[in-house]
Structure 1
Amino acid sequence: MNERLVSIIMAAYNAEAYIEEAMASALGQSHSEIELIVVNDGSNDGTAARIAGFTDPRLKVLEQSNQGIGMARNAALQVARGSFICFLDADDVMPPNSVSSRLKVLMNDPSLSFADGTVIHYDALLERVLKVHTPSFKGEPLQLLARFDPSCFFGNTWLIRWEPSWSYRFERAISHVEDLLFYLTIANGRRYAFTTEPVLHYRVTGSSSMSRLEGLERSYHFVHRWMSDRPELFDPTTRRKNLYLIRRMMSGAYWHAGRPVQALLAWTRGS
C-alpha cells in the first residue's frame, strides 16, 4: 500500500451543475498521490456525462441505483486503496492544499487518526464569503461530537488515517447527519487535530439539509438512540445534553421555516 496515497470519495446524485468543479478541485490537489472515487448514485440528469469528461487515470467511477449518500460512500470505501481517506460533496470545492495541509498534520504525529481544517462558507456561485470556521480542539473527539461542540467539526472535512482492522461503514437508515454518526462510530479512543489552512469551500445552496426538516429530525433522533444504546461510551448527562440540543435546534429550524406547530412538537420528541 502506498503510505501517502489519499482516497477522496465523492457521492453524486443529480449533481450536473457543480460536479465538474468539485472533481477538478480534487484532481488538482498539490498532493498528487490521490485517487478520486466518484459514485454516481442513480442520477437522472447530466451527471454521468460530466463525469465522463474526465480521463485522469487517478479517477475511479462507480455506478449504482439511487441508494443515498451513505450507501454510495460505502461502495467507494470497499474499493478504496489509500492509507488515508476523506470525503468531498459533489457541490463543494477543495482548495489546492486541502489534502496536503491535513496530511502534514497526520504525518507529523502518528498518534493522530483524524485531521481537520478551516471551512469557508460561500454563496452558490462561490463568490461571496458567508462565514469562516476553524476548529480549535485537539484530543479525543467522541464526547465533543455528542455535544455538537463547534470546536470539533462533524462535517465531511476529516482526513482519516485508514486502519485495516477497523470497519468503516455509513448507516443506511438515516438520510442526514451521516457524517456525525460515522465519526461517532470510529472516534472512540482516537485523536483529532487540525490545521488552520482552508480545507473546504462549502457551497451554501437551497438544497441544504435544513430545507428537509423531517428527515433531518428523524436522523438526529436515530443518532440519539444509537448513543443511548451505548451507555459505556456516553453517560446520562451527555445523552440528556444531546437530546436537549436536538430539540432546541429542530424547534428553531421549524420556527424559522414558518411552522410553529412543528416547532412546539419538536420539544416533545425523543426520550
Structure 2
Amino acid sequence: MLENIKGGLQLTYRLSVIIPLYNKEKSINRAVNSVLKQTAFFDELIIVDDGSTDASLDVVKQFDDSRIKVISQKNQGVSSARNTAIKVACSDYLCFLDADDEWRPNFLEQIVGLIKLNDKAGIYCARYAEVDEHGKQFIGNLVNINPNFYGQLADFFLSYKENRSLICSSNTCLKKEYLEQIGGFPKEAKLGEDIFVWLSIALSAPIMFSAKLATIVYRNAENRSHARVKLVLPYHIQYFLNPSKRALLEKNSTLKTFLLYNTTIFGLYAAQAGNRRLAIQTAKLLMAHKLMYGIIVFLGACLPKSFIHLLKKLRNKKTLSYEN
C-alpha cells in the first residue's frame, strides 16, 4: 500500500503483481524471487498457472509468503491467465511480469514514483534490457528521450516506434480501470495481444516512463512463446489496420506511423522465417494504407533471406547496444 500526500489529503495506492505461468519450471523461481526482493511495497503477487504440464506449480508452492496467491486453470493462453488475475486483483494498479523474466530490485520503486507524478495515467513502465539466445545482454538505444527521463511521454506512439526498450509484457504497470474499459487482454489473440492493450490504453490516457533500467527479458529462457506459437498476423495489426479503423488512424497520425512501421518489421520477419504466404498477406494489408511499406515487404518476400538478414543486422547496429 502506497501513501501519497497531495493537497493535504492522504491518498492510498495499492499494487498487485501478476505472473502468468505455463511450463517455466527452470525460470519461475528467478521471476518470483525478483518480485519478493523489491524495495517498494506491493499488496499481492498473483500467479496464474495456465495448465502447466511440467513442475512449474511445484516450484511456486515452495515459496512461503502470505502475499503470494496461486490460481490454477486449464490451459487457455496467456491472455486468459492475465484476465483471470485481473478479475481477482485487489489493487487499482496491476504490474505484469512474465514467468521467464525478472525485475531489478528497483522496478516497483520506479513505478511508485511515476504513479505519484500522475496517478491518472494508464500505463507506467521502466526501461528494460534483453538477454539473447547466447546469454549476451543488450538494450535499445534511447531516441529523443533523455537518459534521465522520468515522467509523461509527450507522444507514446512516436516514442514506441523509435525506442525498442520502451515497453513490453514484463515492464508495465496498468491502471485497472483502463484495462476494464477495453475488456482486458483479447483472449482470441495468439500474438500481439499485449501491443493491442498498450495502443488501446494510450488512445485515452497518458503514458509514464522511466529511462532507468529496471527489467531483464530473457530470450534464452525455456518454452518461449515465439518457438511454440504458430506465426500469424498479430492481433494489434489485424485490429488497427482493419478498414473500419481508417478514421481512427487518420485522427491519430503517429499511431498510424507506428503501425505501418511495426507491420513492415513483422512482414520482413515473416519473410525471413520462411513464411512467404504470411509476408505477402502483410504486404497487401500495408499497400491498402501506404504503398511504399507494402512494396518493401513484398520485395522482402521475393528476395533471398540473406538480404533481410543484412537489413536486420543494420537495424540492430543502429538501434541496440550490447554490453561489453
Write out aligned runs for 1:194-209 (5 A): 194-205=209-220, 207-208=223-224
- Cα drift, residue 185 of structure 1: 2.7
Give the aligned partner of residue 181 of structure 1: 196
Contact in 2 for aligned 1:140/1:190 (Cα 8 Å): no
Q: Over aligned residue pairs, what C-alpha RMSD do you find?
A: 3.2
Kindly tell me: are residues 78 and 260 of structure 1, through their superposed partners in 2, closer, same or farther at Cα, counting changes over 3 Å?
closer
Write out aligned runs for 1:122-141 (5 A): 122-123=131-132, 128-132=136-140, 136=145, 138-139=152-153
Q: In the TM superposition, what whole-angstrom CA distance separates every residue of 1:8-65 from its partner, at most 9, and x where no partner exists?
A: 1110111111001101111221113331100000111111101111121000111100
Contact in 2 for aligned 1:113/1:160 (Cα 8 Å): yes
Kindly tell me: are residues 210 and 246 of structure 1, through their superposed partners in 2, closer, same or farther at Cα, counting changes over 3 Å?
farther
Kindly tell me: are residues 27 and 217 of structure 1, through their superposed partners in 2, closer, same or farther at Cα, counting changes over 3 Å?
same
Q: In the TM superposition, what whole-angstrom CA distance separates every residue of 1:213-268 from its partner, at most 9, and x where no partner exists?
A: 85342434323346x43455321766764664354223321333345565445422
Report whether the alignment pairs 1:77 with 2:86.
Answer: yes
Query: Structure 2: any 5+ residue segments left out of the alignment?
Result: 3-11, 289-324
Aligned to 2:13, the other structure's residue is in SS state coil
1:224 pairs with 234, 240, 261, which one? 240
Give the stretch that moved more between structures: 130-139 or 51-60.
Answer: 130-139
Report whether the alignment pairs 1:160 with 2:174.
Answer: yes
Contact in 1 for aligned 2:123/2:174 (Cα 8 Å): yes
Contact in 2 for aligned 1:247/1:269 (Cα 8 Å): no
Counterpart of 2:198 in structure 1: which amino acid? Answer: Y
Kindly tell me: are residues 94 and 216 of structure 1, through their superposed partners in 2, closer, same or farther at Cα, counting changes over 3 Å?
farther
Q: Give the structure-1-normalised TM-score.
A: 0.83
1:66 pairs with 56, 72, 75, which one? 75
- Cα drift, residue 152 of structure 1: 8.2
Report whether the alignment pairs 1:18 with 2:33.
Answer: no
Q: Give the structure-2-normalised TM-score.
A: 0.71
Aligned to 2:189, the other structure's residue is in SS state coil
1:89 pairs with 98, 101, 120, which one? 98
Larger Rg: 2
Contact in 2 for aligned 1:120/1:133 (Cα 8 Å): no
Kindly tell me: are residues 240 and 56 of structure 1, through their superposed partners in 2, closer, same or farther at Cα, counting changes over 3 Å?
closer
Kindly tell me: are residues 63 and 93 of structure 1, through their superposed partners in 2, closer, same or farther at Cα, counting changes over 3 Å?
same
Q: In 2, distance between residues paired with 1:182 and 1:98?
A: 21
Kindly tell me: are residues 37 and 62 of structure 1, through their superposed partners in 2, closer, same or farther at Cα, counting changes over 3 Å?
same
Give the aligned partner of residue 163 of structure 2: 150
User: What is the percentage of aligned positions where both structures have the same residue?
Assistant: 23
Q: How many positions carry a matched residue from both structures?
A: 268
Q: In 1, distance between residues paired with 2:259 and 2:205?
A: 24
Say which structure is richer in helix. Answer: 2
Give the stretch that moved more between structures: 154-163 or 236-245.
Answer: 236-245
Q: In 1, distance between residues paired with 2:58 and 2:239?
A: 36
Contact in 2 for aligned 1:6/1:84 (Cα 8 Å): yes
2:185 pairs with 170, 193, 197, which one? 170
Contact in 1 for aligned 2:126/2:214 (Cα 8 Å): yes
Contact in 1 for aligned 2:15/2:91 (Cα 8 Å): yes
Aligned to 1:200, the other structure's residue is in SS state strand
2:272 pairs with 249, 253, 256, which one? 256
Kindly tell me: are residues 112 and 165 of structure 1, through their superposed partners in 2, closer, same or farther at Cα, counting changes over 3 Å?
closer
